Chain A
Amino acid sequence: MIFNSIEFILFLPVVIILYYLTPQRFRWVLLLAASYYFYMSWKVEYIFLIIFSTLVDYFSGLMMERQSSKKKRLPFLILSLVTNLGLLFFFKYYNFGAENLNLLFDKIGLSQDIPMMDFLLPVGISFYTFQTLSYSIDVYFGRQKAEKHLGYFALYVSFFPQLVAGPIERFSSLTPQFKENHTFTYENFANGLRLILYGWFIKMVIADNLAVVVEQIYASPENFSSLDILTGISFYSIQIYSDFYGYSIIAIGSALIMGIKLMDNFKTPYLAKHIAEFWQRWHISLSTWFRDYLYFPLGGNKVKLSRWVLNILIVFIVSGFWHGANWTFIIWGSIFGVTYLVEHLINRLFKLQKEQKPFSLQHLMLAFKTFIIVTIAWVFFRSQSLDEALQVFSSLFHNTNLSGTELSTPMFVWVFLILFMLSDFLLYNKRFDKWIAQFPLIGRWSIYTILIFSIIVFAGVEDFPFIYFQF
């Protein structure tokens, strides 16, 4: 059940109505049932993975809390890590490992052949395993008390709006909200609907229409001119942003109607002046996860320079690997790691630390530079293999003589693209629901009407699932 489907349009109001009709102490039952139903709509069997992961982490948490020292808590933390990462590695990385080992065996003349597995990656596994891992680690360090109520804990792992593609929430921010008695408020209801509406718009009108063009380019880059390829790879930067941002704000809006506040996952990332800022604005819940549970434990920046450089590279490479089992993701992460370090060095050498005035020429030029770097990195992210990525770059630089363009982008797509980019400027450091609330009634409803009409009439009709579902 995807957010831009009829099923979800029917499912969400039913859950919300039942939610407010149910007494507070039983709401966790309703939300848990709804979340499991939501997840089973992809593949029924995979619910057992979530249940298994939930039970292991629940009991690990309880056992850790009973121990007086970190040393005694360690075996339970290891149990949680091995279980969650084991599931993740098995489903996500097994074939990658087997393929590369087989290649290695082949090179050194061994006749070993590790079999490949043909199974569907459980949707959202990277998200919920990271979410539940953060809980186990926090309990281990004593930052979080173990949850005694299995139902609330299970709901924390599986809360449907953010189950399959985040935002990756921390236990301390999400679970207390399940226990609060939320009454229906018009403000939450209106803001939630506004976010859902805008999320549908940017996913269905922007991302899905751009996807048609991007698909053509990546299917056969050799047939397109350099200009077409440049258009295609730039479109992908916008596509992945609008796709994932769209998903995130629908998730945030859906939860908000029930009075539950999820963290913002995007803050106009393409207006970031440098890569470090980009990662403060892009997929915030993941970057803060890596900061808290990988970068800081590695020593953060309170170490020698050489170790700090290594820490940065490790974090970005692991982040790339988190996205998928492919060398393309590792290169994608490495590009960010290296550019992060280079920018840091340049900023220190040339003392470029001063804050730029928003939308000053300097800001816009720096943002454009960041966009170019990110767009280059996205080529690796989008490509199925290194060869494909190199083919895109090769065609970009060599097809300058190709004149007759095969690429056709409908005019309305350009119009909406410009509107979307403009809205990003307007929404700089703001969220759509708050931004639109400041307009007078006529202005608000005019925007709603345009959004509704655009979503219905100009939505892409090809089936492009949310990109981050594959992770």
Chain B
Amino acid sequence: MRLKIIYKTISLIAILIALNFIYQKWFFENDLQKHSDIVNSVRNIPNNADIIYIAESSNKTFREDDKDKRAISDFIGDYYPQLNLHDISNPATHSGIYKVLLASIPKENQVKTIIVTLNIRSFDASWIYSDLETPLQKSMVLLKEKPPLYNRFLLSFKGYDIKTKKDRKEQFLEKWIVDEFKPSNEFQFKNVREWDDWLATKGAKKKENGEYDKENTELACHYVKTYAFQIDTMTNPRIQDFNDIVELAKERNWNLVFNLLGENIEKAKELVGDELVMMMNKNAELLVKYYHNKGVTVINNLNSVEDEQFIDQNWTTEHYAEKGRKIIARNTAFSLKKWYDKDFVGVEIKNSKNYFIPRRFLIAS
């Protein structure tokens, strides 16, 4: 009986190898286009690219009245007209997705520098456990560096991070309670839940007639839920994903830049107060220091964009109007000078009030 089982197991393995060949040759491409068309953004990169800019919606979102509606990556390209700069932009993506996309760049591609957006919101529980995560994770399954039939097997048997909306919500609601702020004496509140409750009860801002301003209170609460967290480099899943990107860059010999995006600090201060701004800056500084120590060039744009330049005034996003995108592009372009100094061309940002960027926040390299 044992021999019979061994013999049949070997036959099964041989069949699976043959099926993998059949799948790869006649079915895989169709599946890729159906379930993982995100791969096309990587395929569109030419072999002679010098720089790749990988980002979420912040790269390409513009305001209707922008005179120049081009992307941040295009503005960076203006500083280096001789270089071949390409972007991979997909809404709502984050480091977990970037690492799979970057790993799928063919080894023969000559790209030298990778710029990855570092979105501080993506470290927050409500994004980590967002209901957008299931479709995103699903779209990544076929791109993994495994035999295509194995990847399709994972897709069919739901072998990825699949959870219902309800489950995801439960996850981040729980995180808002169990993740307590440290040191406790520095903060008035124990966790996000307490802070949110307090703000919802007190009201964020009174209108001139002293009435409770519901809209602003809701927005303030949203700011707390989005930014009131302290990154733990040991447990935050985004850290592991960025670490994987660092390892991949070393392996492929890429210059790596993390572009920490600007957030609406002015609004955070106005709606919630200094405590939240301090927390945001501490997280940014931690990331800068952490990845600087790993040899990554980190651009800290957290405070770089003024309130007026944020397109979504009633929500937290990194969608900037023209000037905002240009400021992020300028800071990024300057960070590339150390590798491409002779290709650098100065570009003037019109109507730019010299938005103050403390040097220590700007570049760590």
Contacts and interface: CB of A to CB of B under 8 A. Distances in A.
A448 B23 CA distance: 16
Interface of A: 4-6, 9, 120, 186, 189, 204, 445, 448-449, 452-453, 455-457, 459, 461, 463
Nearest to A458: B156
Nearest to B163: A463
Interface residues of B, number: 26
The A interface is mostly helix, strand or loop, or mixed, namely: helix
A111 B15 CA distance: 69
Contacts of A453: 19, 22-23
A6 B159 contact: yes
B19 A204 contact: no
Contacts of B153: 456
Nearest to A455: B156
Contacts of A4: 156-158
A84 B12 CA distance: 46
Interface string B270-282: 0000000000000
A459 B11 contact: no
Interface in B125-150: 134, 138, 149
B6 interface: no
A456 B159 contact: no
Nearest to B18: A449
Interface in B183-233: none
Nearest to B1: A186
A14 to B, nearest CB: 16
Contacts, number: 52
A456 B19 CA distance: 10
Contacts of A9: 157
Contact of B5 (A186, A461, A463): A186
A456 B149 contact: yes
Most chain A beta carbons < 10 A, residue from B4, B16, B134, B156: B156
Given A457-B27, A461-B35, A463-B162, A449 B156 contact: no
Contacts of B152: 456-457
8 contacts: A189-B5, A445-B11, A452-B19, A453-B19, A455-B156, A456-B153, A456-B156, A457-B23
Contact of B155 (A5, A448, A452, A461): A461
Given A186-B4, A463-B162, A452 B157 contact: no
Contacts of B5: 186, 189
B1 A459 contact: no
Contacts of B11: 445
B154 interface: yes
Given A6-B158, A459-B156, 5 more contacts: A186-B4, A445-B15, A453-B19, A456-B23, A459-B155
B138 A449 contact: no
A35 B275 CA distance: 49
A300 B151 CA distance: 55
B162 A452 contact: no
Contacts of A449: 15, 19
8 nearest A-B residue pairs (beta carbon): A459-B156, A6-B159, A456-B153, A186-B1, A6-B157, A453-B19, A456-B152, A449-B15
With a 10 A CB-CB cut-off, give which of A6, A189, A445, A456 has the most chain B CB atoms.
A456
Nearest to A461: B155
Given A453-B22, A456-B149, A461 B156 contact: yes
A186 B31 CA distance: 37
A263 B149 CA distance: 35
B175 to A, nearest CB: 18
B138 A461 contact: yes
A4 B155 CA distance: 11
B154 A6 contact: yes
A448 B4 CA distance: 17
Nearest to B2: A186
Contacts of A204: 156
Contact of A452 (B15, B35, B158): B15
